[in-house]
Amino acid sequence: MIYHNYQMAANLADPVRQFAAQAREISMKWFDGKPATPLQRMTAYYEQIALMGFTHARPNYNILPVQDLQGQTHAIQEERVYGTPFCDLMRFKREDQHDLPKLLLVAPMSGHFATLLRGTVQTLVQDHEVYLTDWRNIRDIPMSEGEFGLDEYIEHIIWFMQHLGPNAHLMGVCQPTVACLAATALMAQDRHECQPASLTLMAGPIDTRINPTKVNDLAKEKPIEWFEKNLIGMVPLQFKGVGRRVYPGFIQLMAFLNMNLSRHRQSFATLYEHRLNGDHEKADVIRDFYQEYFAIMDLSGPFYLETVKHVFQDHLLPKGELTYRGRALELGAIRKTFLLTVEGERDDICGQGQTLAAQDLCAMLPAYRKTHHLQAGVGHYGVFSGKRWDAQIYPVLRNMIQSAQG
């Protein structure tokens, strides 16, 4: 009943939040730019009310134009080029370029939409034709389309790499690093012409036995039956996916919020003060972040449980026991793909060494095809977004892809 109770509460709260949003817009027009008044304070408070709620609609990507070396600005074309009932494959490319390296960026299916990687795409699209897995909210997919588990996740990556064609590149951020490595191994075992020319694994749980974090410990505290009983809900009647077993996105987000609750409280307080002081540009940055952060999607129940069991509890991949539809994975089959692993010094979700483990698991790759980058001063999200990603991590990735291009 947890999902039904949540949805009832959300249905009751949504009109209040919508009213607050409208009231804020009206008040801003009346009082913007004037000394703080009680009504202006109420306007800032309305914004807080309007913002403090979850949505289930994917935000827009809004990838901005990029500049070339001559200072000319070029728009980015956004297009859906392929899709399945569970995922759309989005392409982002510069309108002035047609021969840039093709890169498949696999977004996490972890409670947020793929738009969480907007900043990652914005940087990558400068030098690459970027393809992004735009996972659909599982609660909107009818049961007639079948279940979605870890095998289906891996299968989608293989399908999409086939769509990109030979000499394309693969990049996984956090959770999908396991599936990306598995898909690469399968394609290498089959000597597939579309196996990735390079594979980039960023802050992912390849081997969570190494430097376990609080997240890793929580995953091992309870048996998998506890997760199934307490965290898996049923999609309510009002949605197309009625009857599906899901790990609700609101549970995942609440877990993330509780990890840094004091920081989020301070962010809302700072937002309020910026509004009163007229620092609207700074306030908009905070507002935009939470509008994105509070846009949530549910996870397939089977996929979530298999990930907890196989990746975080049983460590099947590093133990050489992970299978795909009953077929054994052979990481030693990966011999041609360039490999880059990236970790953050202050990552409290994926500990140091967990992603690096892929270097040893791909034992048959020659040393010159392997690169590891440990970024100082960043946490989990700083690995793939922000100033250090732009200035220090991205150049390493770009150079590795150029080397893999031959």
Task: Decide if 379 is inside a domain.
Answer: yes
Type and span of the H or E element at 300: strand 299-300
Residue 9: inside a domain: yes
Q: Is residue 378 part of a domain?
A: yes
The predicted model scores a pTM of: 0.86
CB atoms within 10 A of CB 397: 25
Q: Quick one: pLDDT at residue 100?
A: 95
Distance CA 384, CA 202 (A): 8
| pLDDT at residue 35 in the model | 46
135 & 166 share domain: yes
Q: Give yes or no: residues 44 and 158 share one domain.
A: no
Look at residue 225 and tell me if it is in a domain.
no
pLDDT value, residue 286 = 83
Overall number of domains in the chain: 2
Please tell me whether residues 264 and 364 are part of one structural domain: no
Compute how many other C-beta atoms are within 10 angstroms of the C-beta atom of residue 358. Answer: 28
- Report if residue 239 sits inside a domain: no
From CA 183, how far away is CA 177, in angstroms rounded?
10
Instruction: Render the burial of 161-189: b for 16+ CB within 10 Å, e for the rest.
Output: bebbeebbbbbbbbbbbbbbbbbbbbbbb
Of the chain, the end-to-end C-alpha distance in Å amounts to 55
Q: Note whether 265 and 284 are same-domain residues.
A: yes
- Do residue 309 and residue 398 come from a single domain? yes
205 shares its domain with 304 = yes
**Segment-wise mean pLDDT, segments of 10 residues, the chain, 406 residues:** 56 47 50 54 65 77 90 94 97 92 95 92 97 96 97 98 98 97 98 98 98 93 94 90 90 72 81 80 82 85 97 97 97 98 96 98 97 97 95 98 90
> What pLDDT is recorded for position 238?
87
Which of 293, 326, 352 corresponds to the end of one domain?
293
Query: Do 317 and 173 belong to one domain?
Result: yes
pLDDT for residue 323: 98
Pairing of strands 198-202, 370-375: unpaired
Q: What is the model's pLDDT at position 216?
A: 94
Q: Are 317 and 178 in contact (CB under 8 A)?
A: yes
Residues in CB range of 25: below 8 A, 6 or more apart: none
3-state secondary structure of 258: helix
Domain residue limits at 163: 66-218+299-405
